[in-house]
Amino acid sequence: MSTPHVAKPKKAKTPHTKPVDIDQSKSELAHHEHHDDGAGHGTVKSYLIGFILSVILTGIPFALTMMHILPSSSLVPVILVLGIVQILVHLYFFLHMNASSSQVWNNAAFVFTLIIVGILVIGSIWVMFHLNHNMMPGMAPM
Q: What is the pLDDT of residues 35-81, one digit of tens each?
A: 555 556 789 999 999 999 999 999 999 999 999 999 989 999 999 99
Model confidence at 141: pLDDT above 70: no
Total structural domains in the chain?
2
What pLDDT score does 40 carry?
Answer: 61
Q: Is residue 105 a part of any domain in this protein?
A: yes
Question: Does the global pTM surpass 0.75?
Answer: no
Q: Is residue 131 a part of any domain in this protein?
A: yes
Whole-angstrom Cα distance, residue 80 to residue 114? 17
Q: Is residue 15 a part of any domain in this protein?
A: no
Q: What is the mean pLDDT of residues 11-19?
A: 62
Instruction: Give yes or no: residues 47 and 69 share one domain.
Output: yes
Instruction: Give yes or no: residues 80 and 115 share one domain.
Output: no
Domain membership of residue 70 as a residue range: 42-96
Q: Is residue 35 a part of any domain in this protein?
A: no
Q: Is residue 56 a part of any domain in this protein?
A: yes
Instruction: Give yes or no: residues 92 and 50 share one domain.
Output: yes
Q: Quick one: 101 exposed, middle or buried, by C-beta within 10 A (0-12, 13-18, 19+)?
A: exposed
Q: Is residue 46 a part of any domain in this protein?
A: yes
Instruction: Give yes or no: residues 90 and 104 share one domain.
Output: no
Instruction: Give yes or no: residues 77 and 116 share one domain.
Output: no
Amino acid at 132: N
- Nearest-5° Cα angle at 33, 40 to 107: 25
Q: Give residue-wise pLDDT tens across range 96-120.
A: 888 888 889 999 999 999 999 999 9
Instruction: Give yes or no: residues 84 and 116 share one domain.
Output: no
Distances (CA, A) of 59 to 16, 43, 112, 126: 60, 24, 31, 33
Model confidence at 15: pLDDT above 80: no
Instruction: Give yes or no: residues 85 and 104 share one domain.
Output: no
Q: Is residue 12 a part of any domain in this protein?
A: no
